[in-house]
Amino acid sequence: MAAPILLSGCGKQPHAPKEVASPDAMGDVAMPAEAKMAKGTGTVTAIDPASSKITLAHEPIPAVKWPAMTMGFTAKPELFAGIAVGDKVDFDLTVTGNAGEVTSIRKR
């Protein structure tokens, strides 16, 4: 309480805390992408265990606003056991930015 009285005598006002901008006020500032979980359905079109990749022709994935398309995903090679090209599958994804990693896959 003494600081405002002392400062008023020299014409200075006490400093108010600065307001922190909300994420909505950040406009076009690039922010790190957060990982999202999603589920999909599709058909296996390629499997490459050596590079830990699986290619799926998938239906739309609304959770990440992806239309139906064919794309490659990373996946742990042990997930490929019992899965073959041509299989119709349900799968779980972790999506960061535009990249996805299949975390679970099972035949339909």
79 part of a folded domain:
yes
Rounded to a whole number of angstroms, the CA Rg of the chain reads 25
Instruction: Please state the domain count of the chain.
Output: 1
> Residue 74 is encoded by which pair of tokens?
């990373």
pLDDT at residue 11 in the model: 54
* Residue 96 is assigned to a structural domain of this protein: no
Under 8 Å between Cβ of 58 and 64: no
**The pTM of the whole model exceeds 0.75:** no
Q: Is residue 39 assigned to a domain?
A: yes
CATH number at residue 51: 2.40.50.320
Rounded-to-integer distance, Cα 13 and Cα 28, Å: 34
For residue 75, the enclosing domain spans 35-88+101-108
pLDDT of residue 24: 42
- Within a domain: 17: no
Grade residue 26 by pLDDT with cuts at 50, 70 and 90: very low
Instruction: Specify if 49 maps to a domain.
Output: yes
